[in-house]
Chain A
């Protein structure tokens, strides 16, 4: 089973700032089969990025993804108030398809 470790656990930033979230896999994720999701309180996760760097429909370009192999990054430039939420990475390379434990992005 691929274990995804996200860091930091909590990130405190101000609106207008830049957020860098990390997702590290316990073994290589081939074909960059990694997705990022955003979850707000009381809501279901929402797909942000797939294939590590492709934005889902309707996702603003301030969200970007990078990385390969075992290290992946979600970057949010110019934080908007609605961006403060919990972010999860998920690998779909190998079954069982696993999620990271999440990074909470909170307002400083």
Chain B
């Protein structure tokens, strides 16, 4: 059974960089069949896709966040990571990692999701 678990600080100061890691068990981040993604959820904006990456290097970003987002995959630890720079209070959200089925190099639906981690941006 595939499981994903987010980890990282729950509190980040404004203007700093939010860093989260997703640890995958029951599957390999090196699988050709999947992308690995990040999504966040806020009461105001709902669910917002952030980025999706394939271990081979293909990455898709939400244009609204692209200038601040860095994603990476660590195959040795079976993890993937998110960095979001220059955060503000608007980046306060529950952040989820998720696996995405891939077909012909195209990322598809999200399944499964990690349990989510609350990140608050505040001084």
Contact = CB atoms under 8 A, between A and B. Distances in A.
Interface string B110-123: 11111110000000
Interface residues of B, number: 21
A95 B60 contact: yes
B57 interface: no
B48 to A, nearest CB: 7
B96 interface: yes
Interface string A62-97: 000000000000000000000000001010100111
Interface in A16-55: 33, 35, 37, 43-47, 50
A105 B45 CA distance: 19
Contacts, number: 54
Given A33-B108, A45-B47, A102-B46, A96 B113 contact: no
B55 interface: no
Interface of A: 33, 35, 37, 43-47, 50, 56, 88, 90, 92, 95-102
